[in-house]
């Protein structure tokens, strides 16, 4: 099995006719993903990589049965694109776009919640989600790792790729890049809960970073609810106070949000935490070999 995305998923691409939409549609198709349609109201009736373009998300769902949307719309149009997908009732929206205003993300996240939260949002500013050998929705390279039994949830796209590569001898059930913005649609806890109930995930890697308290909250959740082994890494041990590092949400204010505080919280919950990505991968390899 996998979480949220598998070989039955039917993906539509919002922004399919733009340069990024075209490029990554081709990459997802090569990875074996079922891309059934795309949207651009000005170019409805055309095709991209053999994929039909429709005017709206609702029409795409009606004509193709799409149940996942990947958003490659520029920041100014992202809020409208996500709300359109929510209104159409699609179960999963993966928002790749970087630079989405935080108040826009807050608006469409709150809108999803007001609709009963029937639509899961991953992102924005994320690499997407991949279930190796099954489906790929986003920009994660599909050839890094094979299918396996490790689950991965990460704020960082680059560290997602590195961890997948370093653990390629074991493989992954699903890898989820949740994004590093201050407001995101899917959290570490959401992914941890899904991996905990997935019968084909035996162990979990969790990658966090400085800023906010998401990792501390995840640690408390792990302590209470997760029975599977979890190995973690927190990026940003040497980050200076008050300086944003990479992601918009990666900023330390006083003693709040430091890598050390997050590491201590995770270790208190029984999570083995690596000092580097490579050490984290070695810790997980040891865990998998012992299962």
Task: Tell how strand 51-54 and strand 47-48 pair up.
Answer: antiparallel
Q: Which of 211, 183, 39, 33 is CA-nearest to residue 123? A: 183
The annotated binding site for CoA is made up of 17-20, 43, 96-98
Residue numbers belonging to the annotated binding site for substrate? 161
* Residue of 24, 103, 225, 247 with catalytic role: 247
Known catalytic residue at 247: yes
User: Which residues carry a binding-site annotation?
Assistant: 17-20, 43, 96-98, 161
Catalytic center residues: 247
């Amino acid at each position: 099995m996998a979480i949220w995305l598998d070989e039955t998923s039917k993906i539509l691409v919002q922004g399919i006719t733009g340069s990024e939409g075209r490029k990554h549609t081709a990459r997802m198709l090569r990875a074996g993903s079922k891309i059934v349609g795309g949207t651009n109201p000005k170019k409805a009736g055309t095709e991209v990589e053999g994929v039909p373009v429709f005017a709206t998300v609702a029409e795409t769902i009606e004509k193709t049965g799409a149940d996942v949307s990947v958003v490659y719309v520029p920041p100014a149009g992202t809020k409208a694109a996500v709300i359109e997908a929510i209104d159409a009732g699609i179960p999963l929206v993966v928002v790749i776009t970087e630079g989405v205003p935080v108040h826009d993300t807050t608006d469409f996240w709150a809108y999803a919640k007001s609709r009963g939260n029937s639509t899961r949002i991953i992102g924005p500013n994320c690499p997407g989600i991949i279930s190796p050998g099954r489906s790929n929705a986003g920009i994660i390279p599909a050839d890094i790792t094979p299918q396996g039994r490790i689950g991965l949830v990460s704020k960082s796209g680059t560290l997602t790729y590195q961890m997948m590569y370093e653990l390629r001898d074991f493989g992954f059930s699903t890898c989820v890049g949740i994004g590093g913005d201050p407001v995101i649609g899917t959290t570490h806890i959401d992914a941890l809960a899904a991996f905990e109930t997935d019968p084909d995930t035996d162990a979990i890697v969790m990658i966090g970073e400085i800023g906010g308290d998401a990792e501390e909250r995840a640690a408390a959740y792990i302590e209470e609810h997760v029975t599977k082994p979890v190995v973690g890494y927190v990026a940003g041990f040497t980050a200076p106070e008050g300086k944003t590092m990479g992601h918009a949400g990666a900023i330390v204010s006083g003693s709040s949000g430091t890598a050390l505080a997050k590491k201590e919280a995770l270790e208190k919950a029984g999570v083995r935490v690596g000092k580097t990505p490579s050490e984290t991968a070695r810790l997980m390899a040891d865990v998998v070999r012992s299962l």
